[in-house]
Structure 1
Amino acid sequence: MSEIEEYERRLAMAFERISYSVERLSTRAPAAAAAVPAPSAPAAPAAPAADPAEVAALKSALDDERLANAQLEERVKAIRSKQDTQVSALETKVRGQKEVLARLEGELSRLRQATEALRASNLALREANEAGVGKPELINDGLRAELESLHAERAAERAEVETVLALMTPLLEDAAAGGTTDTEEMA
């Protein structure tokens, strides 16, 4: 953004110089007309209102400044376009990472629930064993809860690996593409 501000400052200064030069020329013309003697007096050849070489130089400078202005406007457009593209890409990355994190949170929640069920089943099994009553349905419930806990743990680990891969993939692609980083691209 500092480049844009610098260009705008330079353009403003150039337009001020041009305005000053035009004002100087326009004040010279009335002053030269006022200096012309009255018609009753012998007429001397009137001096030109402005030096044609100076007018041509000012017009050339004005054209140069207009060209520079057009070029700066194009650069500003290109910078803004690049910035919009980068913002869009970053928003897409953030959205993808949020989705991955949401899946991870879901799997971790499932793991917590399975672990809680396993604890409850194991507690019931211990109490039955202390009472001397071996109930096969409690053993089956305990095994089911343990199996579910193992499935949830594996799913959570898989989601965690996917999260790490999702975070590492853009970095690896950048490194493979020539080692540029997001901060270098914005400069």
Structure 2
Amino acid sequence: MSDLAELERRISAALDRIARRADMSQSVSQPASQPVSSGSSAASGPAGAGGGGDAGAVLAALRAELSAEQSTNAQLTERVHQLKQRQDNTISQLERSMARLTEQLDLQSLELLRLKKANAKLVSANAALRDTQAAGYPEGQVMNRSLSAELEALQAERRVEIAEMEEILAELKPLLSAEASHAG
């Protein structure tokens, strides 16, 4: 934004200089009997300094100055365009990264929920197993439920670990590809 403010300031200054020189060229081309308009004196600018000044030289100088300002304007416009492209690229990269992280978080939340349910079943099955063991020999059905719940809890724990490993690999993959591109 400061580039745009600077550009506006420079254009305004150039237009002011052009207006002053145009007033000077009008005052130089007017006969001596006519008063000078808009309060400018013929000796206030470079064209009036020599006494007569050439209107063509003033016009050429104005055109050169205008051309220089247009060139500067074009350069600043291109720079603003490049900055906008860089900003758009950064925003799109951040949005992709955020989407990927959101997906990973959703996956981990799902696996964590499964793990909590499996652990709740395991606690319940183990409590039933303890109760039947206290009464004597455990029933086969209670033993099967206990083992099944334990197996389910272990599987859920493994899925959580796999999700964590995938997250770590997803974070390492860009670093490794960047390192490989720098090495190659």
Please give the secondary structure, in 2, of the residue aligned with 1:120.
Answer: helix
Taking the aligned partners of 1:152 and 1:88, their CA distance within structure 2 comes to: 35
- Which residue, out of 124, 127, 150, partners 2:131? 127
- In the alignment, structure 1 residue 166 sits paired with structure 2 residue 175: no
Instruction: Give aligned-pair identity as a percent.
Output: 32
TM-score, length basis structure 1: 0.78
Deviating beyond 3 angstroms after TM superposition, the runs of 4 or more aligned structure 1 residues are: 29-35, 47-51
The C-alpha deviation readout for 1:24-56, integer Å capped at 9, x for no partner, is 123335544665338xxxxxxxx9786322321
**Amino acid paired to 2:111:** E
- Which residue, out of 151, 154, 157, partners 2:158? 154
What's the counterpart of residue 46 of structure 2? Answer: none
Taking the aligned partners of 1:137 and 1:75, their CA distance within structure 2 comes to: 75
* Cα RMSD after superposing both structures: 2.3
What's the counterpart of residue 47 of structure 2? Answer: none
Taking the aligned partners of 2:134 and 2:171, their CA distance within structure 1 comes to: 50
What's the counterpart of residue 93 of structure 1? Answer: 97
Residue segments in structure 1 that go unaligned for 5+ positions in a row? 39-46, 180-187
Moved more, 153-162 or 47-56: 47-56
What's the counterpart of residue 42 of structure 1? Answer: none
- In the alignment, structure 1 residue 111 sits paired with structure 2 residue 133: no
Deviation at 1:167, TM superposition (A): 1.9
Q: Which has the higher contact order (CA 8 A, sep 6+)?
A: 1
TM-score, length basis structure 2: 0.80
Judge conservation of contact 2:25–2:55 (CA < 8 Å) in 1: no
Judge conservation of contact 1:108–1:156 (CA < 8 Å) in 2: yes
**Amino acid paired to 1:132:** G
What number of residue pairs does the alignment pair up? Answer: 167
Judge conservation of contact 1:97–1:167 (CA < 8 Å) in 2: no
- Which residue, out of 41, 65, 71, partners 2:75? 71
Taking the aligned partners of 1:170 and 1:11, their CA distance within structure 2 comes to: 39
Judge conservation of contact 1:33–1:49 (CA < 8 Å) in 2: no
Judge conservation of contact 1:121–1:138 (CA < 8 Å) in 2: yes
Deviation at 1:113, TM superposition (A): 1.0
Residue segments in structure 2 that go unaligned for 5+ positions in a row? 35-50
